[in-house]
Amino acid sequence: MSVQPARPLTDKERLDWLRLAGADHVGPVTFFQLLDRYSTASAALSALPDLARRGGRARAPKIPSVQDAEAQVAAIAAAGGRWIGAWEPDYPALLREIADPPPLISVIGKTDLLGRRSIAVVGARNASANGRRLAKDIAHGLAGAGFVVVSGLARGIDAMAHEGSLTGGTVAVVAGGADVIYPEENRGLHERIQAEGLIVAEMAPGTVPQARHFPRRNRIISGLSLGTVVVEAAERSGSLITARFALDQGREVFAVPGSPLDPRARGCNGLIRDGATLIESAEHILEGVGRLPQLRESRPETASSAAPKPDEHEVDQARSNVLGLLGPSPVAVDELIRQCHMSAPAVLAVLLEAELAGRLDRHPGNQVSLRYSSAL
């Protein structure tokens, strides 16, 4: 994402951003590449059909209408919230630093919490009684030390983390729309967080969470936070996905050890074997955070104009070469550029076209793969 001046979006820009973010095959990385190339979301929206056609798509991509975007703004406003774009002054600075920040987030509650230092606390849904109590105590201790506690509003450890930090500052990142109660058993907690803390969502209002939404939510939980604490997690659990995102984002990972006889401890014990910091209390976390290098938390200061368009003749030459090197296994974009012997702008342009055509998948670590099963 290019460096931009911190400024509020105009009403029209906000609608354009919502439309671009909701267009077919426009993920966060692609969204900002389009802004870099075309300067405004409006210009990028105009370019989408031609870019998708060049990538091999026969039909024009679906783009939300102005009325659709207006409905999203109205729905969040009716719930007492608003949308914040990534270039705006009150967008979380740490979240902006990750490789794939949400172009916009919807928020309901106390937005000033986004400007405070945060620690994530996550863990098993089917948590033990001891795990729940420990999560609540840790969250309470962190909040008492001035940290905002971030979690995912799931049952189990997440709910206890919010309960423990509600009076001191808690942020719930949800997988669906900010106005959707999920799970139903957390309705009361959801309503209390709206009143005393903050609800954050990337998805459109009214969206009911689906399995594919939770990894996207998890990267936001870790992205908002200086570090992530895992209290009870089975192997291959969502909490471990959050921990991996934290590591990829250059953040600290803390884990509570447990009995090797308890499946809910295997994930945490594995994290510790792999180098996570072993903790048993909030005090241990505070010691670890104090040793962390200071992450940049300043707002963007200088504007950058639109990135120069790549030479179209070179893009035409690169297209077959780049696509020929792609397969179902992810490959680093930098490796593609090295093997193609083409300029980076030309290779990135081909990848952008292929993604907008629905032929390309992006993976963590700036890797891409070809999607053979896509219907164009």
Question: DSSP assignment, residue 328?
Answer: S
| Strand duo 104-109 + 81-85: pairing | antiparallel
Cα gap 177→48, rounded to integer Å = 26
Domain total in the chain:
3
Sheet (strand 367-370) strand order:
331-332, 367-370, 360-363
- Least confident span in 37-41, 58-62, 91-95, 114-118: 58-62
Helix axes 238-248, 266-273, angle to 10 degrees: 20
At residue 297, the pLDDT reads 45
Q: Do 56 and 175 lie in a common domain?
A: no
Residue 5 lies in a domain: no
At residue 178, the pLDDT reads 98
Q: Do 48 and 179 lie in a common domain?
A: no
Q: Do 33 and 140 lie in a common domain?
A: no
Q: Do 160 and 191 lie in a common domain?
A: yes
At residue 87, the pLDDT reads 94
pLDDT beyond 90 at 295: no
At residue 341, the pLDDT reads 86
Q: Do 122 and 167 lie in a common domain?
A: yes
Cα gap 216→200, rounded to integer Å = 12
Write out the E strands in 10-156: 81-85, 104-109, 118-123, 148-151
For 189, other C-beta atoms within 10 Å of its C-beta total: 20
Q: What is the pLDDT of residues 246-278, one digit of tens each?
A: 999 999 999 999 999 999 999 999 999 999 999
Whether omega for the bond prior to residue 183 falls within 30 degrees of 0, making it cis, is: yes
Residue 180 lies in a domain: yes
The answer to whether 79 and 179 have CB atoms below 8 angstroms apart is: yes
User: pTM (2 decimals)?
Assistant: 0.93
At residue 285, the pLDDT reads 96
Among 106, 126, 141, the domain-final residue is: 106
Higher per-residue confidence, 281 vs 374: 281
Q: Do 128 and 258 lie in a common domain?
A: yes
Question: DSSP assignment, residue 305?
Answer: P
Q: Which domain holds residue 28?
A: 11-106
